[in-house]
Each structure stands twice: as C-alpha cells, then as structure tokens.
Amino acid sequence: MKVSAYKMGKPFLAMFWLYTLTAYKYKKFKRRALRLNRPFSSGTCFLAQEKRSAVNTMETIPNFDEIAMLADQFSRSYPYEILAWAALHFGIGLVMSTGFGPEGIVILHILNRIAPETTVFYLDTDLFFPETYALRDKLELHFGMKFHRVTSTLSLDQQNAQDGPELWSREPDRCCHLRKVEPLRAYLQTKQAWITSIRRDQTRQRASARVVEWDATNSLIKLNPLVNWSNDQVWNYLYYFGLPHNELHHKGYPSIGCTHCTQPVSQGADPRSGRWKGHQKVECGIHFQNA
Ligand code: SF4
C-alpha cells in the first residue's frame, strides 16, 4: 500500500510541535525560577537529584531584607509556586515537617507532584493515637514514600525516671520540650529550610506568621505555604483529590496531638480547645521564637 508523504510527515510534525512547546514552557519556568531565586547570594538552581546534593549550606544564607522581600513576593502565591521555588533553591537542604494533620496532607500532595524527593519528617512523641500511626502508614502507601521519624533521645521510661510519671499532666511545657522542641532543634541543625503546615487563623500565636520567615530558634528559613488558607479551603482540597485523612476528625477531633493531651470538642467550639484541656497551653512550642 502506498502511503503519501503528507501522512508520513504528520507524526513528525506533531512531535516537532510537542518538543517546541515543551522547550518553551521549560525555558519560561526556568526564567521565573531564576528571577525568584535572585535575592539570594547563591543564584544557583538545580533540578536533578545528583546536582541538588551539591547545594552547599553556606552558599544560601539570606539576610533579613531578602527574607522580607520574599515574604512579600510570595504573600499571594499559590503553594505550588512557593514549594517549587523552595525545592529549586534549597535542594536537599529543604525538609518538611508533618503531624499528619489535614494541612500537612495538602502540602504532601503538592510536594509529591513537584519535588517528591523532599524529606518529610514527623516528630514521634511515642504518644500518638493508633489512628494517627495508621494514617502515617496509609499516606506512605498513597504517596509511595517513607516518612523520616524524629524522636526524643529519652524513651518514655527514661522520661518517667528523670521527671516522674505523667509529666504531660503536671508540666506539659516541659514534656513538649523534651519530646518535640529539643528533637526538632537537633534535627534541623543540618538543614537550610523547613516547611510547616501552620495557618494564621489556627491560634493567636500564628496570626502574624508569614509565608517565608527566619526561624531564629533553629537558625534556618521557615516556609509556611498555607498560611493564608482557611480550614474550608484545606478540606475542599482534601475532598477534591480524595486524599486520606485521620478518621478521628469525624469523631469530634478537629485538631489531633498526643493521646493524653487531646480530647474531642463539641460542634462549633474552637477546633484547638481539645488540646491541653485544663492548661493555658495552646501550642506545643515548636513554632515559638527566641526573642
Ligand atoms: S502533647 Fe502532651 S504528651 Fe505530647 S509531648 Fe506535649 S505534653 Fe507531652
């Protein structure tokens, strides 16, 4: 059968246009990434994993003006844009923390699409609900990744021996310090930037959080890509993409921490009012800044 030159040329023509379009989009993305990268001294962007490992910690220390400029620049950006910039700029120096809350799952979903090699860690107090550990396993399967476990150097038995039993009921600040704040500080020592899931309307302490901040306590950049989001936006996202979430949310637990410090709340109550009930405490302390 005779095939006309026109018919034979069609697939090549389609491939040519596909290549041209892809190259154009890549160049456009690269230009934008470099432009956003400009405020920092490094000026180097790496996409490939082997090149990302070459990012040097000392090359990318920003000054406060640069951080403020980035916070303004990204103040109305969609999380995809913020996270893509962070992955390009910080490479393997970028990590994400999660307590497996709904906000963290939104960020995980985005990271999984644009920078799946980013390390995601959780602070395991050894006191999570079984439902939370079950969700961790489910998320690992869903996203095809493994969470990095960060934990206190003190086991619960050692803590009991050192500070007495049930420290959380007597001195929850100290308990959080030993099981969350100190392990976080130790882990972040070698990192350049960490991603958190905080939103401004969660607590009074978070009301002034910005998209990009200097974390003075841990001496690195802190990125809060969902800082402007509402609770409804987060849940709409989870339902839209059919993402797994903690089943305790459907049993009256809008905010979930350790078993001893989390109780269900009634409909319409402050979502965090079930945390550290009977204490003034509303934050575990990992987001507090040294003066
Ligand atoms: S949330 Fe409660 S049990 Fe968990 S580390 Fe803090 S005080 Fe301890």
- Written as one string, the DSSP assignment of 147-196 is PEEEE-SS-HHHHHHHH-S-HHHH-HHHHHIIIIIHHHHHHHTT-SEEE-
Which position has the higher pLDDT, 251 or 7?
Answer: 251
Contact partners, residue 106, CB within 8 Å, separation at least 6: 79, 197, 226, 229, 234, 237, 238, 243
pLDDT (mean) for 150-178? 97
pLDDT (mean) for 69-82? 95
Is the CB of 210 within 6 Å of ligand 1? no
pLDDT digits (tens, 9 = 90+) for 203-256: 888 889 999 999 999 999 999 999 999 999 999 999 999 999 999 999 999 999
- CA pair distance 106, 198, nearest whole angstrom: 12
Counting residues of the chain whose pLDDT is more than 90, the rounded percentage is: 67
pLDDT, residue 270, reads 87
- Best probe residue, ligand 1, of 166, 261, 276 (max atoms within 8 Å of C-beta): 261
Confidence class of residue 16 from pLDDT cuts 50, 70 and 90? low
pLDDT, residue 39, reads 34
Confidence class of residue 48 from pLDDT cuts 50, 70 and 90? very low
pLDDT (mean) for 78-102? 96
Rounded to the nearest integer, the mean pLDDT of the chain is: 84
Tokens found for residue 271: 């979502």
What's the 37 CA to ligand 1 centre distance in angstroms?
38
CB-CB contact of 221 with 192 (8 Å): yes
Alpha helices in the chain (DSSP H): 5-37, 49-52, 64-73, 79-90, 102-114, 130-143, 156-163, 167-170, 172-176, 182-188, 231-240
What's the 216 CA to ligand 1 centre distance in angstroms?
23
- Sign of the alpha-carbon dihedral angle for 189, 217, 284, 161: positive
Closest CA to 106 of 211, 253, 244, 286: 244
For the ranges 91-105, 149-163, 257-271, the lowest mean pLDDT is seen at 257-271
pLDDT, residue 17, reads 58
Is the CB of 156 within 6 Å of ligand 1? no
- Give the phi and the psi of residue 61 in degrees, each rounded to 5: -85, 115
The domains of the chain are located at 57-261
pLDDT (mean) for 145-162? 97
Tokens found for residue 90: 């910080």
CB-CB contact of 265 with 273 (8 Å): yes
54 pLDDT more than 50 = no
Confidence class of residue 43 from pLDDT cuts 50, 70 and 90? very low
pLDDT digits (tens, 9 = 90+) for 181-211: 999 999 999 999 999 999 999 888 888 999 9
- CA pair distance 185, 273, nearest whole angstrom: 27
Q: Which residues are catalytic?
A: 284
Residue 269: how many CB atoms within 10 A of its CB?
12
- CA pair distance 166, 173, nearest whole angstrom: 12
pLDDT (mean) for 156-174? 96
Which position has the higher pLDDT, 197 or 57?
Answer: 197
pLDDT, residue 53, reads 41
What's the 126 CA to ligand 1 centre distance in angstroms?
10
pLDDT (mean) for 15-42? 45
CATH code, 57-261: 3.40.50.620
Is the CB of 179 within 6 Å of ligand 1? yes
- CA pair distance 217, 215, nearest whole angstrom: 6
Tokens found for residue 77: 């950006």
pLDDT, residue 194, reads 97
Is the CB of 127 within 6 Å of ligand 1? yes
Is the CB of 125 within 6 Å of ligand 1? yes
- Best probe residue, ligand 1, of 127, 132, 276 (max atoms within 8 Å of C-beta): 127
Counting residues of the chain whose pLDDT is more than 70, the rounded percentage is: 78
What's the 106 CA to ligand 1 centre distance in angstroms?
25
- CA pair distance 55, 207, nearest whole angstrom: 33
